[in-house]
Amino acid sequence: TVDSVFAWEALDSRGKPTVACEVVLADGTRGHTSVPSGASTGTHEASELRDGGHRYGGQGVLTAVRNANTVLAQAVRGVDATDQVAIDQALRAADGTENLSALGANAVLAISIGSAIAAASAQGRSLYRSVDDSGQRPLLPLPMVNVLSGGAHAGRAIDVQDFLVVPMAAGSFAEAIEICARVRAGATQVLDERGLPTALVADEGGLGPVLPSNRAALDIMVEGIERAGLQPGADAAIAIDVAATQFHTAENTYVLSAEQGRTLRSAELVDELVSWTEHYPIVSLEDALAEDDWSGWAEATTRLGHCQLLGDDLFVTNPARLQRGIDGWVANAVLVKPNQIGTLTDARTVVTTAQAAGYRTVLSARSGETEDSWLADLAVGWRTGQIKVGSTMRSERTAKWNRLLRIEAELGDQADFAGAAAIAASGV
């Protein structure tokens, strides 16, 4: 059972304050965690509590920390840490709001995950084993890795937020990461040769060149794959996170600033994306339309359903929003970010609901991350099949890749690798 909680203010990878905590069990076992934070956040996400005022430009989390140390600690005291549902119910009840805005989703998630980590440790098990009730062999996820960054993560040099590589030909997780690193190096070479800057990296470790259009970025991706000695499509394919909410207007149009303010209606944006998929080996599109453009999304699903259509801001890891998508034939995959909903139990529900409906699942980090690696364990234990963490550099990113590399190295042929099947599987 949980005995106490010790929370404090720490920094995330962008240098912004975040909640860190240790959950201490009655037998003295401790579970340490810290929570991530987004930049291109969805309107419908659970609510982070920020202090306002002068400290850290208003971004401090001392109030959330105090809530974790007092009322939330009180709520979980005496609760069995191996009973995640009971822990998360106690946290939700203490907050009392749907979006956890009273005490802070950042405070709630820190204790939710800290409890899971402490419980695994008390049982002498790895986290990926203690959260897995499938009875199957551990499943290493297929990664999608950020190569070029735009949007809110790179000063909006290009509209599309992420251009990622998907290592289709990889036979193991280690091979997958090597392919992705090779493509990133290839893309760096291509940019260097054109005199474009490659020394600075974006929030998730991607390259952030100023390019004349979104298509120019897709060209760099293809050339980077070729430069790596790989065949575009067969060996390494492209995923994009359009993050369309970021350039959607109140008039329900989409304005591409990388293309001289070219303005598109939903159907025209879908036309544009269809054209990209015809000319480039794109296998996955995330947030192709804005978070509340359900009719645009339905059209995208009809016309682009042969690709993975991934809802991030659309679903915000929220079971009710995912259900609306499933019922309305919208998207065919869900991005899962535990801090969008605030508890492990709710994030887990989203994974199981999606899997039951034939929707693919991609566990995801945030643009503001920490050096924790629990996300890697959740991907294996929840059998999500895919994971998205950012690039192959910056330690807050490699913490997750390195944890997966270690799990695979330790398990050897006792584990399976999801591979390209995870993304190619026909969804709905």
Hey, is 236 helix, strand or coil? Answer: strand
Q: How many CB atoms lie within 10 A of CB 77?
A: 14
Name the H helices within 198-337. Answer: 214-227, 266-279, 294-304, 319-327
* Bridge partners, 11 (sequence order): 17
Shortest distance, position 287 Cβ to Zn ion, whole Å: 5
Partner from Zn ion, ligand PGA, none contacting 41, C-beta within 5 to 8 A by type: ligand PGA
Residue nearest to Zn ion as judged by C-beta position: 312
Q: Is 355 annotated as a binding residue?
A: no
Give the rounded distance of the alpha carbon of 213 from its chain centre: 25
Shortest distance, position 7 Cβ to ligand PGA, whole Å: 22
Shortest distance, position 41 Cβ to ligand PGA, whole Å: 5
From the candidates 204, 291, 299, 396, give the one annotated as an active-site residue: 204
Instruction: Note whether 373 and 364 are within 8 A (CB).
Output: no
- Residue with smaller CB distance to ligand PGA, 18 or 29: 18
Q: Is 204 a catalytic residue?
A: yes
State the Cα–Cα distance between residues 211 and 193, nearest whole angstrom.
Answer: 14
Q: Is 348 annotated as a binding residue?
A: no
From the candidates 337, 396, 400, 408, give the one annotated as an active-site residue: 337
Hey, is 406 helix, strand or coil? Answer: helix
E-strand ranges in 141-226 read 142-149, 162-166
Shortest distance, position 46 Cβ to ligand PGA, whole Å: 13
State the Cα–Cα distance between residues 8 and 94, nearest whole angstrom.
Answer: 19
Q: Which residues bind ligand PGA (CB under 6 A)?
A: 38-41, 161, 241, 243, 312, 364, 366-367
Hey, is 335 helix, strand or coil? Answer: strand
Q: Is 293 annotated as a binding residue?
A: no
- Structure token pair of residue 333: 């995959």
Residue nearest to ligand PGA as judged by C-beta position: 38
Q: Is 337 a catalytic residue?
A: yes
Partner from ligand PGA, Zn ion, none contacting 39, C-beta within 5 to 8 A by type: ligand PGA
- Residue with smaller CB distance to Zn ion, 12 or 313: 313
- Structure token pair of residue 262: 């070219």
Instruction: Note whether 258 and 212 are within 8 A (CB).
Output: yes
Q: Which residues bind Zn ion (CB under 5 A)?
A: 241, 286, 312
Q: Is 312 annotated as a binding residue?
A: yes
Q: Is 241 annotated as a binding residue?
A: yes
Shortest distance, position 329 Cβ to Zn ion, whole Å: 21
Q: Identify the burial level of 67 via C-beta atoms within 10 angstroms of its C-beta, where 0-12 means exposed, 13-18 middle and 19 or more buried.
A: buried
- Residue with smaller CB distance to ligand PGA, 144 or 407: 144
Q: Is 388 annotated as a binding residue?
A: yes
Q: Residue 341: what residue type?
A: I
Q: Binding site, residues?
A: 161, 241, 286, 312, 337, 366-367, 388
Q: Which residues are catalytic?
A: 204, 337
Q: Binding site for Mg(2+), residues?
A: 241, 286, 312
